[in-house]
């Protein structure tokens, strides 16, 4: 037998050498090579390199006997051309016995003709029938033979015989007549037509015809606006979108690919009891974004509440939105860690009547040194009585020990310092709530008839000595005063929160002063409780930096309560609502209204990966009644209402882009004419828009300045989140603008794009139906408006989410630094003399008893450890795409420029972190700010910007 012909490499594919005889093994031998040959080795190890298969273009052209030119020259029937398709299928690396048996059965089924069938569809239509030209069915020939082939990727082939005037293949249908689904990565079609290889980037599960009787359709990677769709693809384009939308009825099966909307009516479980009832989020009563519809039947006790699917059962998302195997493995490992980390303290809590508070700071440290067994001080006989615990302890010792959070890596005692407490407001987990103070004393926007006087209890006398000789007005005029204001967020809910056993909270306000060194320092903290009667005086404490031992411990407790408020707002509002929940309607509408051929869908596709799945998992176990968020964070069962209140009163899509958010102007109602007069005097130099009952509230950490590179000037010059965020924002904006210009030369092109307009209209009017009439929605009418909307979406899905997510364990895993909840109010001799005496006698023990207990702390730590982890298959901002995602060379070139911009941004971030003049990110014991550094290896790294909300 002749040796196989050598292969030469061509555009990342290996072609059979010229001169090899067709029809012989070796002459048309299928060869594979990584499409991205230049991918870094570290990246290849991390998630494996997808391969794109191709077949030599030297395929036979079969002309009719005696005719050289076929129909074109001789007037007879068109000549026939042989074309071949190479399908790259990704196999599962781990299969259970059932899957192995199904694989063998499919191989046997393939031998008797129940194979995978394909059909090419041309971009042309038949001149007589006006129907798309089709190739006729062809079956994969080598499925059975390659059953035993090793490797993650297997390439199968099929052959088509088409007329020479078939035209360019624009779509291919796949019918899987086997018993189980398979994951189809890509298809490459080559042959005797003059179009060269045609690529189909599939990346989709192909269901058995038993599950999905209709054929799957995949379009080539060439982008087409709806008006430019080739005639042969128009009907298919419309039908595919119709199938993805479904009819809005029925219970969804896990194998379905239907995208639809529902309210958040599945967070509670009224069948378990009234304590598990939660309000429906979404609708006129409680506005909220929509989530993916599953169609499950209602609960037995409430027809409006959807029945739940509890772990370990899977909750529906469209099949292609589910985690891939590598991601699922990493996520499952993280969940196992969470279970093991919380199992032992949970069991001990049920055996012992003790609360298991930390007995000393060294007990907290032991979480990272000896692990759970030693840290709890458990006696050996306890483990002998609980064999399961003993088995887990013996077999999983490493898993039961927590990694040391980064916050402790440089300075174990940094969390005690005021400057570190303030630094975390601009370089921590939640750097988006700090605002410029423009009104003093601060004023509430709550109804004074219910919540009492709107003015804060903080006076100028409280803070005058901390202003470096400035008056309060001078400090505000010079942009030296800033605030973390969680008063209005929490006050309406405090009675319900404080009624929960083991949970106590205040509504907090903190004032910070910007020093000459560019750092911040807290100078006043106000702790408020609701009035005992509507409109009555509001109990309030004002604390300032300590001057003795007693006030030092009280100040530490006050800072802990502020951090607890901040943790709740971060998780429920900034992280969950403003990234996860807000993006879901945009993603649903994109799949429902924009074809995979649409250039804007191709742009958004990497930024939608895994988001529906992670949101579904969050509904199942994180934001649900008695879920992790309610169990571990201050708001508890009112968590959903706090999130929805922000959405109703404050969320605005037009202010979610980074520059707009930093400048943010927001109109709110003034509580009284008297206060309005006061406000007019104090903020007329800031705002020119005044009416009789509102004023403009500023986030105000930046001002518009056309002379600056990003069009704004930061008032806190060393603001790591904003400094680095603006680099990535500009890179994203430039990329999007250049991409949009390729397809939309003028406003008419935007306005006439039915799919694009349908996507945006449905997102606003269905996905965000409760705020659809708000005047602030941008009009999608020009290329600039389109680029602005897309830039905001990509920013939220990538950099904004990364900044709010991946520091949760590195910066918050040490609970005393950032307690997610508090169990005690500040000691007050007038309220409880005995408690105050206990505080005076042992403030160290009182402080630890006010922190979360061992059970709450370890459960919280295990979960945020999982949430802070990058999976091995993470796809990062600016990375090269692993498959030919578009056939538009100009778009590929524009993306290469974007990748270069992202690399330059990362280099700039590295230089900033080494700049000793930037004291908020460089100094003795100061952590560098890397949450917006784009690249990262797998694991908990406190850096890396994935393309999408994938965890």
Contact 308, 604 (CB under 8 A): no
Contact residues for 895 (Cβ-Cβ < 8 A; gap 6+): 735, 739, 881
Tokens, residue 444? 């509430």
Report d(CA 691, CA 45) in Å as an integer. 61
Q: Where are the beta strands (DSSP E) in 242-297?
A: 261-262, 291-292
Alpha-carbon distance of 837 to 51, in angstroms, equals 70
The CA distance from 375 to 378, in Å, is: 8
The backbone torsions φ and ψ at residue 390, rounded to the nearest 5 degrees and listed phi first, read -65, -40
Q: How far apart are CA 900 and CA 868, in angstroms?
A: 26
C-alpha–C-alpha distance, residues 506 and 527, integer Å: 5
Find the catalytic residue in 265, 433, 615, 805: 805
Distance CA(718)–CA(917), nearest Å, equals 9
Q: Which of 36, 178, 570, 580 is catalytic?
A: 580
Query: What is the C-alpha to C-alpha distance for residues 605 and 199, in angstroms, rounded to an integer?
Result: 17
CA 417 – CA 941 distance, rounded (Å)? 24
Looking from the CA of 217 toward its CB, the CA atoms found within 13 Å total 22
CA 385, CA 192: separation in Å to the nearest integer?
A: 75
Q: Cα(150)–Cα(158) distance, rounded to whole angstroms?
A: 20
User: CA 489, CA 562: separation in Å to the nearest integer?
Assistant: 12
What CA–CA distance (Å, rounded) separates 99 from 896?
41
The tokens describing 445, both together, are: 């926007």
With b for 16 or more beta-carbon neighbours within 10 A and e for fewer, the 111-126 pattern comes to eeebbbbbbbbbbbbe
Known catalytic residue at 801: yes
What is the helix (H) or strand (E) element at residue 125, kind and residue range? Answer: strand 116-125
Q: How far apart are CA 795 and CA 658, in angstroms?
A: 8
Q: Distance between CA 368 and CA 366 in Å, rounded?
A: 5
Token representation of residue 189: 């079609």
The total of other beta-carbon atoms located within 10 Å of residue 54's CB is 27
Let me know if 805 is a catalytic residue: yes
Angle between helix 639-649 and helix 549-569 axes, rounded to 10 deg: 70
Q: Which run of H or of E encompasses 102?
A: helix 97-111
Looking at 199, 575, 607, 870, which residue is catalytic? Answer: 575
Angle between helices 843-850 and 549-569 (to 10 degrees): 10
951 catalytic, yes or no? yes
Structure tokens at 719: 């603001």
Catalytic residue among 768, 801, 870, 895: 801
Query: DSSP letters along 2-69, please?
Result: PPPPPEEEETTEEEEPTTPPTTSTTTS--B--BS-TT--HHHHHHH---B--B--S---EEPPTT-SS
Q: How far apart are CA 203 and CA 186, in angstroms?
A: 6
What is the distance, to the nearest Å, from the Cα of residue 837 to the centroid of all Cα atoms in its chain? Answer: 47
Dist. CA 897–CA 878, nearest whole Å: 9
Instruction: List the one residue out of 897, 907, 607 whose CA is nearest residue 734.
Output: 897
The Cα–Cα gap between 391 and 225 comes to 60
CB of 855 closer than 8 Å to CB of 356: yes
DSSP designation for 621: I
Distances (CA, A) of 102 to 94, 98, 109, 780: 14, 6, 10, 49
Q: Rounded to whole angstroms, how far apart are CA atoms 54 and 33?
A: 9
Q: Any idea which residues carry the catalytic annotation?
A: 575, 580, 801, 805, 951
């Amino acid at each position: 037998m002749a040796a196989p012909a050598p292969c030469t490499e061509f555009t990342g594919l290996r072609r059979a050498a010229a001169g090899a005889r067709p029809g012989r093994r070796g002459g048309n031998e299928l060869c594979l090579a990584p499409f991205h040959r230049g991918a870094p080795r570290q990246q290849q190890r991390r998630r494996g390199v997808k391969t794109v298969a191709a077949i030599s273009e030297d395929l036979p052209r079969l002309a009719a006997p005696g005719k050289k030119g076929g129909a074109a020259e001789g007037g007879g029937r068109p000549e026939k051309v042989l074309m071949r398709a190479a399908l790259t299928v990704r196999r599962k690396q781990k299969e259970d016995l059932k899957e192995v048996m199904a694989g063998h059965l499919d191989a046997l089924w393939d031998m008797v003709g129940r194979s995978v069938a394909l059909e090419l569809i041309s971009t042309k239509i038949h001149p007589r029938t006006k129907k798309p030209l089709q190739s006729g069915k062809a079956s994969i020939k080598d499925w059975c033979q390659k059953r035993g082939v090793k490797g993650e990727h297997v390439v199968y082939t099929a052959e088509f015989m088409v007329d020479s005037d078939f035209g360019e293949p624009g779509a291919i249908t796949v019918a899987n007549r086997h018993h189980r689904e398979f994951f189809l990565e890509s298809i490459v079609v080559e042959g005797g037509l003059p179009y060269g290889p045609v690529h189909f980037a599939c990346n989709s599960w192909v269901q058995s015809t038993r599950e999905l009787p209709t054929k799957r359709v995949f379009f080539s990677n060439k982008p087409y606006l709806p008006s430019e769709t080739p005639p042969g693809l128009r009907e298919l384009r419309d039908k595919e979108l119709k199938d993805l939308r479904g009819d809005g009825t029925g219970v969804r099966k896990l194998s379905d690919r239907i995208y639809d909307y529902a309210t958040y009516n599945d967070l509670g479980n009224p069948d378990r009891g009234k304590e598990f009832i939660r309000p429906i989020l979404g609708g006129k009563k409680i506005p909220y974004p929509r989530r993916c519809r599953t169609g499950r039947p209602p609960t037995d006790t409430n027809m409006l509440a959807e029945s739940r699917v509890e772990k370990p059962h899977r909750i529906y998302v469209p099949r292609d939105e589910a985690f891939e195997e590598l991601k699922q493995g990493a996520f499952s490992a993280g969940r196992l860690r969470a279970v093991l980390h919380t199992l032992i303290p949970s069991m001990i809590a049920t055996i012992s009547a003790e609360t298991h508070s930390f007995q000393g700071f060294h007990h907290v440290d032991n979480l990272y040194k000896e692990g759970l067994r030693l840290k709890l001080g458990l006696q050996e006989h306890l483990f002998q009585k609980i064999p399961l615990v003993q088995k887990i302890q013996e077999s999983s010792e490493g898993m039961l020990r927590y990694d040391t959070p980064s916050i402790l890596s440089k300075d174990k005692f940094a969390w005690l310092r005021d400057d570190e407490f303030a630094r975390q407001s601009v370089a921590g987990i939640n750097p988006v709530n700090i605002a410029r103070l423009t009104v003093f004393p601060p004023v509430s926007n709550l109804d004074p008839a219910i919540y009492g006087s709107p003015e804060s209890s903080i006076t100028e006398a409280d803070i005058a000595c901390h202003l470096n000789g400035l008056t309060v007005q001078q400090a505000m005029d010079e942009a030296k005063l800033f605030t973390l204001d969680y008063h209005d967020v929490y006050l309406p809910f405090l009675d319900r929160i404080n009624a929960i056993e083991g949970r106590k909270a205040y509504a907090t306000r903190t004032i910070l002063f910007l020093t000459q060194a560019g750092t911040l320092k807290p100078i006043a903290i106000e702790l408020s409780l609701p009035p005992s009667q509507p409109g009555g005086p509001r109990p309030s404490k004002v604390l300032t930096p300590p001057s003795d031992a007693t006030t030092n411990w009280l100040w530490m407790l006050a800072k802990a309560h502020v951090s607890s408020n901040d943790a709740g707002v971060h998780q429920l509002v900034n992280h969950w609502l403003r990234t996860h929940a807000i993006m879901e309607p945009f993603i649903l509408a994109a799949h429902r209204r924009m074809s995979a051929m649409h250039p804007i869908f191709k742009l958004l596709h990497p930024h939608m990966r895994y988001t529906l799945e992670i949101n579904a998992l969050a509904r199942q176990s994180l934001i649900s009644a008695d879920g992790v968020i309610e169990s571990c964070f201050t708001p508890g069962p009112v968590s959903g209402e706090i999130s929805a209140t922000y959405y109703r009163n404050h969320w605005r899509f037009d202010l979610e882009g980074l520059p707009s958010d930093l400048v943010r102007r927001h109109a709110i109602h003034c509580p009284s004419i008297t206060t309005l007069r006061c406000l007019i005097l104090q903020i007329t130099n800031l705002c020119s828009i005044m009416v009789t009952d509102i004023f403009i509230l500023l986030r105000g950490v930046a001002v518009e300045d056309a002379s600056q590179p990003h069009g704004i000037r930061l008032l806190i010059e060393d603001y790591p989140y904003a400094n680095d965020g603006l680099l990535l924002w500009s890179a994203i904006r430039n990329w999007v603008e250049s991409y949009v210009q390729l397809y939309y030369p003028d406003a008419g092109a935007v306005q006439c794009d039915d799919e694009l307009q349908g996507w945006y209209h449905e997102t606003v009017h269905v996905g965000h139906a409760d705020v659809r009439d708000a005047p602030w929605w941008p009009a999608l009418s020009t290329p600039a408006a389109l680029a602005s909307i897309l830039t905001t979406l990509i920013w939220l899905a990538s950099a904004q989410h990364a900044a709010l997510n991946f520091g949760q364990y590195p910066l918050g895993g040490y609970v005393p630094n950032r307690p997610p909840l508090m169990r005690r109010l500040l000691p007050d001799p007038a309220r409880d003399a005995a408690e105050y005496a206990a505080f005076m006698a042992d403030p160290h023990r009182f402080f630890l008893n006010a922190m979360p207990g061992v059970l709450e702390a370890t459960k919280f730590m295990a979960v945020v450890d999982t949430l802070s982890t990058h999976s091995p298959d993470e796809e990062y901002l600016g990375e090269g795409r692993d498959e030919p995602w578009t056939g538009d060379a100009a778009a590929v070139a524009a993306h290469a420029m974007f990748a270069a911009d992202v690399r330059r941004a990362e280099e700039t971030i590295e230089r900033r972190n080494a700049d000793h003049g930037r004291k908020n990110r460089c100094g003795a014991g100061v952590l560098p700010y890397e949450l917006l550094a784009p690249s990262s290896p797998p694991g908990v790294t406190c850096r890396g910007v994935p393309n999408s909300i994938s965890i």
